[in-house]
């Protein structure tokens, strides 16, 4: 019997890589996205080519009513959700803290933190009924160590780590595991604002000598989702970062 994964922010980057990798492993996939219709459909087509069902869940994770609608539609089309990947995030310009607009601070938390709350709340009833499920939240190395001129991003990603650890303890008696992946520097659109010189410098600062790929992170997410691989693991932060942060 196939399983279903709901992945937020899955039209590109890490989310898209997760969608394809989970499909390779036999999962049906609900692909959440906000506006990139063509990119989301392209991911869905890759999932279908792997012989799995794909559902397009267009909506803003920062809006609770939109999330409830998407989860209900995904469950109707694909069945109960076994795995939730809270991946949706936004990239804002690097800015010193005193120049961060309040609107950008609130939007960062609305997508990264409120989105986690809305999506987790929506899938929880089904997981509690089955007494089974896996939730993987995507943070960042900057949520672990902090990053100058990215206080809003670092704070939101740190909040995700705190939520992961607390929720893992709360849900463990119901056999629902909650873990976190905190990627290092990854070659995605979110880092496209960095110059080639900046990326080369980050590569040199990474002990493994390369920038990570979305597929690197997708494999870490799948590891934490799969009961046969990580069934005794909950409340943990796995940070694939090439040794950049230890």
Task: Point out the residues that are catalytic.
Answer: 153
Contact of 139 with 160, CB cutoff 8 Å:
yes
User: Cα separation of 163 and 140, whole Å?
Assistant: 14
State the number of CA atoms in the 13 A half-sphere of 68 facing the CB: 4
Helices (H), the chain: 13-24, 37-49, 64-78, 102-109, 115-130, 141-145, 151-171, 196-205, 214-225, 227-230
Q: What are the backbone angles phi and psi of residue 176, rounded to the nearest 5°?
A: -110, 120
| Coil vs helix vs strand at 179 | strand
| Coil vs helix vs strand at 160 | helix
What is the gyration radius of the CA atoms in the chain, in angstroms? 17
Contact of 185 with 209, CB cutoff 8 Å:
no
**Can you name the residues that pair with 136 across neighbouring β-strands?**
85, 179
* 80-116 exposure pattern, b = at least 16 Cβ within 10 A, e = fewer: ebbbbbbbbbbeeeeeeeeebeeebbebbbbbbbbbb
Contact of 4 with 27, CB cutoff 8 Å:
yes
């Amino acid at each position: 019997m196939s399983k279903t994964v709901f992945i937020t922010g899955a039209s590109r980057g890490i989310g898209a890589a997760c969608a394809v990798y989970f499909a390779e492993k036999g999962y049906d996939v609900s692909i959440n996205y906000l506006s990139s219709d063509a990119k989301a459909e392209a991911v869905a087509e890759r999932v279908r080519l792997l012989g799995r069902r794909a559902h397009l869940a267009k909506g803003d994770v920062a809006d609770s009513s939109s999330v409830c609608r998407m989860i209900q539609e995904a469950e109707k089309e694909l069945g109960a959700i076994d795995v939730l990947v809270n991946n949706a995030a936004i990239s804002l310009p690097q800015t010193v803290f005193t120049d961060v607009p309040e609107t950008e601070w609130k939007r960062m938390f609305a997508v990264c933190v409120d989105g986690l709350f809305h999506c987790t709340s929506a899938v929880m009833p089904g997981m509690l009924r089955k007494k089974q499920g896996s939730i993987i939240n995507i943070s960042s190395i900057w949520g672990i160590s902090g990053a100058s001129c990215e206080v809003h991003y670092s704070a939101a990603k740190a909040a995700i780590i705190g939520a992961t650890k607390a929720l893992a303890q709360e849900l463990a008696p119901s056999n629902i595991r909650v873990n976190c992946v905190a990627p290092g520097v990854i070659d995605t659109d979110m880092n496209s604002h960095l110059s080639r010189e900046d990326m080369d410098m980050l590569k040199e600062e990474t002990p493994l000598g390369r920038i990570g790929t979305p597929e690197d992170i997708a494999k870490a997410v799948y590891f934490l989702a799969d009961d046969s691989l990580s069934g005794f693991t909950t409340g943990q932060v796995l940070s694939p970062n090439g040794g950049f942060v230890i």
